Structure 1
Amino acid sequence: MNNIFCISRGCHLIANKNNVCKCEVSDSCNKLDVTNWLEDVPLSAIVPDIAEVRFKNNRKLFYRNVNGLELKKGDVIAVESSPGHDIGIVSLIGDLVYEQMKKCNSDSQSQDIKKIYRKAKSTDIEKWAEAISLEEKTMISARKIAETLKLNMKIGDVEYQGDKTKAVFYYIADERVDFRELIKVLGSEFKVRIEMKQIGARQEAGRIGGIGACGRELCCATWISNFNSVSTNSARKQDISLNPQKLAGQCSKLKCCLNYELDVYIDARKGFPDNYDKIETTEGTLYLQKTDIFRQLLWYSKEQNNMTNVIAISLEQLKDILLKNKNGVKAEAFNNEKKEQTDNLDFTNVVGQESLTRFDNKKKKNNKRKKIHRKF
């Protein structure tokens, strides 16, 4: 058996000189990894009998340790499956498992929790390595078969069970797909039990992983397990430019992080009036250019699409002006002193200033060194 480094499972399968297969497991940097901050705390009187086990990518399940095995994080174990058994890696043990179960809305007293059979033997790991080596080839072949059958679907990932008796195909489809014929063809082609599981675009991004625009790993691959809907209203309420290229993530959907600070902005906007895009003064109509929600400052200018000679107005001043405008009275003109105080703005409007050629060198640097004439 060749050595296999499986990034999606966070392990390195190695065969020694005697052809005995062993598994080296990474302690961190795995998808949906959990830090056991109760690791140094002594265990309670009731020994936890449930362990969290991770499989390929971000798939995690809870299993009951019925045999009382001494498990630790990183142990490769054989667990109950249907049919046969599966091979997984222990990702969490101790009292924190019950907190994770509450987060996932799982009942620790449920009889449906499957069992942990044993620690994986060398033969189990060897068969598991053979199954892992088949996954990429199976996925490519399955895509070709689906294309031949003219099915409007995308097979994004394939996961073999540890005993190589079942394969799970994860696919994306915009509409309902009749894949009965596909299952027959796949079953006869790969000689295993076939299971089809539909996932969304965000779930696919979480399974594949990657680096976001912030420079960190994708949230869906590190800690997000429940995906809430994200709309463009989240960007509008935070005064974010509605640029699809910047608002969309690797899944081509709106970024989940648009919801992180949304509640804070909604609370800060409660004191703002409903309509304040323009106000009437004795100098004329002033148009809103920028809003600082937390400092409760608003900037207005005389021209709607020009930010020259902007004037800063506090929220209390705005409410007084809108009240006067409602009664048909124009507000007094702002003096020059107030304009001078607002010349140094702490923001810049970069919308529309982007260009495809902004990184091109306009002038080529002359790298030729000047000849120096030395006198001897």
Structure 2
Amino acid sequence: MGCTGCGNSGGLPKGCKNNGQCGTSGCGKLHVFDWLSGLEQPTEDLKFPYVEVRFKNERKEFFHNKNNIPLQIGDVVAVETNPGHDIGIVTLKGELARIQMRIKKINKPERLAQIYRVANQRDIDIWQENRQKESQMMLDARRIARETGLDMKISDVEYQGDGGKATFYYTSEDRVDFRQLIRDFASAFKCRIEMRQIGYRQEAAKLGGIGSCGRELCCSTWLTDFRSVSTNAARYQQLSINPQKIAGQCGKLKCCLNYELDSYLDALKDFPKSETLIESERGKASIVKIDVFKKEIWLSYIKSDNVTWYKFDCDEVNQFVSRNKKGEKIEPLEDLHKDKNAGETIFKDIIQENSLNRFETKKKKRNQKRKNKSFPKKGKQINSKKTEK
């Protein structure tokens, strides 16, 4: 079996180099690597009778193989639902399913629904036919919801395998009373209706897109768990608290703010706290900027008109703090900076130097010079020639 997601060439995948033994048909975020493929499986009596089945919209559930149907990963099966049956694809079985159920904390597997059979051709045809109706069904559902006047957005529709039920996924900031909407949907689509509210991050994962980094969204490609992200993650990494820059397409804070947060927290243990004040002979100074990678800190006086930053190493600032704790005041920052960094440029008036319209002012002066230039008119030149004659 080759791996379609890695670019199968001659039966060998180009990506994961596992020679098609990963047990999946691709390398998507819903697939689990079969690291037990090379081990000897238990006997028939000791085999785990539960399997994992994947449906649409990144939904996975576990089912009981009560009838001991011989199943392989990738088989299309008909499973028990209420009401009717649904069609899904087997993604895990055996010991991997046991471990996954333990991770998901499923303590009572005897209450799980069972697998009816391997899907026949008629089941697959009905399933594919219902899947093709979903796009038009979602457009009609949005139109009906708009006519009803409800403040909600329908993101996706999932048809059950036998066509007996349709699940509508929607997002809304407030609570929605959709009792009348369900009646309208039932009369329009002639099936059982289920409304399921999802968050904005789940909506972005379903719809997908391109992030500000130029890559596909993490939530739609590989990220499976949504951890809470706070503005403190941006502050620890010395990022600007600008909602337009640190927010993703879902309108929430970007999940990637948590990726390097632990590394920054470990590095910031050597730095003094950002609210630390340093007593000097000239006055109090505060920390205005921190460079975690170079371990440098910029200090500036609190009561000072000119915006001047003085750069010091992290160890030096820690010495300043320890001296203040002993009751000593350090020398003025400019004297300490001159002794350490003789001849080095000090940052001054940063806002004026980095002005974005500095090129436009030069252009305006040039245009004003052109306007002030006086040129003789044609009529006066002709009159002067006539008078000379």
- Indicate the TM-score class for this superposition, using the shorter chain for normalisation: 0.7 to 0.9
> Which residue is 1:28 aligned to?
26
The structural deviation recorded for 1:160 is 0.1
Letter in 2 for 1:77: V
- CA–CA separation in structure 2 for the residues paired with 1:70 and 1:344: 75
- CA–CA separation in structure 1 for the residues paired with 2:343 and 2:32: 51
SS in 1 for 2:265: helix
> Which residue is 2:70 aligned to?
70
- CA–CA separation in structure 2 for the residues paired with 1:62 and 1:295: 50
SS in 2 for 1:183: helix
Contact persistence 2:271–2:314 (CA under 8 A)? no
Higher relative contact order (Cα pairs below 8 Å, separated by 6+ residues): 1
Distance 1:54 1:101, change over 3 A: same
Distance 1:335 1:139, change over 3 A: closer
The structural deviation recorded for 1:110 is 2.1
Per-residue CA deviations over 1:58-78 (Å, capped at 9, x if unaligned) read 111111222222222221111
| Pairing of 1:261-340 with structure 2 (within 5 A) | 261-276=260-275, 279-281=278-280, 288-293=287-292, 296-300=295-299, 310-315=310-315, 317-325=316-324, 327=327, 329-331=329-331, 333-334=335-336, 336=338, 338-339=340-341
Bigger mean CA offset, 43-52 vs 199-208: 43-52
SS in 2 for 1:28: coil
The structural deviation recorded for 1:104 is 2.1
- CA–CA separation in structure 2 for the residues paired with 1:127 and 1:297: 65
SS in 1 for 2:90: strand
> Which residue is 1:370 aligned to?
none
Larger C-alpha radius of gyration, 1 or 2?
2
Distance 1:340 1:213, change over 3 A: farther
Contact persistence 2:274–2:287 (CA under 8 A)? no
Per-residue CA deviations over 1:132-153 (Å, capped at 9, x if unaligned) read 0110111111111111111111
Query: Of residues 39, 42, 47 in structure 2, which corresponds to 1:41?
Result: 39
Distance 1:210 1:41, change over 3 A: farther
> Which residue is 2:5 aligned to?
none
> Which residue is 2:95 aligned to?
95
- CA–CA separation in structure 2 for the residues paired with 1:195 and 1:39: 39
Distance 1:331 1:102, change over 3 A: farther
User: Following superposition, which runs of at least 4 residues in structure 1 exceed 6 angstroms of deviation?
Assistant: 302-309, 341-345, 352-355
SS in 2 for 1:53: strand
Letter in 1 for 2:81: S
Distance 1:354 1:137, change over 3 A: farther
> Which residue is 2:376 aligned to?
none
SS in 2 for 1:36: coil
- CA–CA separation in structure 1 for the residues paired with 2:354 and 2:242: 13
Contact persistence 1:32–1:222 (CA under 8 A)? no
Per-residue CA deviations over 1:322-368 (Å, capped at 9, x if unaligned) read 244452623363254622597799xxx99x9798xxxxxxxxxxxxx
- CA–CA separation in structure 2 for the residues paired with 1:153 and 1:340: 63
- CA–CA separation in structure 1 for the residues paired with 2:80 and 2:187: 25
The structural deviation recorded for 1:302 is 6.6
Q: Verify: 1:189 aligned to 2:188, yes or no.
A: yes
TM norm structure 1: 0.76
* RMSD over aligned Cα atoms: 3.4
Stretches of structure 1 that go unaligned for 5 or more consecutive residues are: 1-25, 356-376
SS in 1 for 2:89: strand
Structure with the larger helix share: 2
Contact persistence 1:32–1:224 (CA under 8 A)? no
Contact persistence 1:311–1:338 (CA under 8 A)? no
- CA–CA separation in structure 2 for the residues paired with 1:117 and 1:340: 81
Contact persistence 2:312–2:337 (CA under 8 A)? no
Contact persistence 1:279–1:285 (CA under 8 A)? yes
Stretches of structure 2 that go unaligned for 5 or more consecutive residues are: 1-23, 357-389
> Which residue is 2:56 aligned to?
56
> Which residue is 1:256 aligned to?
255
Contact persistence 1:32–1:221 (CA under 8 A)? no
- CA–CA separation in structure 1 for the residues paired with 2:97 and 2:212: 32
Bigger mean CA offset, 228-237 vs 64-73: 64-73
- CA–CA separation in structure 1 for the residues paired with 2:54 and 2:306: 55
Distance 1:31 1:268, change over 3 A: closer
Distance 1:328 1:276, change over 3 A: farther
